[in-house]
Amino acid sequence: MINEIHKMQSSWVVSDEQLQSELRVSITAVVVPAYRSFLGWFLQYLDPGQQTEKYIKFGAHDLQNCIDELFDGNRFSSMARRRT
């Protein structure tokens, strides 16, 4: 779902740079800690040595980078380039 949400929302434009920044900070403050918590919970159920990348495509840092790209109207983000 992260890919789909990012694909849709990375094309959105907020022309006011201050509002862009405030939106990114607000989203980050809610989403990244929740995602880190989820990852911590989920990882405890994986056996050590198991291929975590098979189950987890994005780390918290990746998610932060995705949020930092929002509201520029950039359809060709680093996330899209990374998948190709």
Each residue's pLDDT expressed in tens, for the chain with a length of 84 residues: 778 888 887 788 888 989 999 999 999 999 999 999 998 898 888 776 667 777 788 889 999 998 988 887 765 555 544 443
> How many domains does the chain fold into?
1
Residue 16 lies in a domain: no
Residue 26 lies in a domain: no
Task: Give the model's pLDDT for residue 75.
Answer: 53
For residue 44, what are the domain limits?
1-11+38-84
Residue 63 lies in a domain: yes
CA pair distance 46, 24, nearest whole angstrom: 31
**Torsion angles phi and psi, residue 7, rounded to 5:** -60, -45
Residue 81 lies in a domain: yes
pTM exceeding the 0.85 threshold for the entire prediction:
no
Q: What crossing angle do the helices spanning 60-68 and 2-9 adopt, rounded to 10°?
A: 10
Residue 33 lies in a domain: no
